[in-house]
Structure formats: structure tokens, C-alpha cells
């Protein structure tokens, strides 16, 4: 990827778009983890827990897996408002998992 020829304005515009996409994708990942947890789909692959699946199969670090699982479990019972806060970047996975 060559960013050297892009104007500052284009760089800023693109990073804002990418961050919005990242937040949307993060929410989708949490929804997938929720469904995998509900179905215990990880067991079919020989993993004893969602944490083991996320660290060994998906290759998240232990801290990243823990944050995602904690956030996913909170979101299960969260309101649409909480989901909107995540999507807008008003609350992070780290804050949510605490």
C-alpha cells in the first residue's frame, strides 16, 4: 500500500472511514463469538472453552480474547444504546470489559 502520494485531507478521510469500519467489524465479531458461545461450536473443533478457541484457533492474545469475551457477554444483556456507544467509539472494548 502506497500512502505517500495521498494528500493529508485524503489520509484523514480514509482513516476516519477505516476506524468506522473497524468498529462495525468489532461488533460483528462479538456477535459471532456470542453465537459460537451459545452453540458451543468450539467444542466441535476440540476446544474446551470459548477462551481456548479464541486464543488457539483465532490466535488472539490472551488479553485480547479476554476483552472480547467479556464485552460479548456484557453485550448479550446490553441495550441497543450500549451497542451504539461501541459503534460510535464512545466506549472501548477495554472499558466495556472492565
**Predicted local confidence at residue 78, as pLDDT:** 65
**Predicted local confidence at residue 6, as pLDDT:** 93
Entry pTM: 0.76
Q: Which residue has the higher pLDDT, 72 or 91?
A: 72
- b/e string for 29-66 if b means 16 or more Cβ within 10 A? bbeebbebbeeeebeeeebeebbebbbeeeebeeeebb
Q: Using a pLDDT cut of 70, give the percent of the chain over it.
A: 90
**Predicted local confidence at residue 53, as pLDDT:** 98
Amino acid at each position: 500500500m502506497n500512502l505517500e502520494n495521498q494528500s493529508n485531507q485524503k489520509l484523514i478521510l480514509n482513516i476516519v472511514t477505516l476506524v468506522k469500519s473497524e468498529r462495525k467489524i468489532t461488533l460483528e465479531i462479538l456477535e459471532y463469538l456470542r453465537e459460537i458461545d451459545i452453540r458451543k461450536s468450539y467444542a466441535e473443533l476440540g476446544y474446551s472453552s470459548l477462551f481456548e478457541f479464541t486464543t488457539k484457533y483465532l490466535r488472539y492474545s490472551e488479553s485480547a480474547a479476554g476483552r472480547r469475551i467479556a464485552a460479548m457477554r456484557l453485550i448479550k444483556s446490553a441495550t441497543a444504546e450500549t451497542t451504539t456507544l461501541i459503534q460510535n467509539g464512545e466506549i472501548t472494548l477495554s472499558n466495556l470489559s472492565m
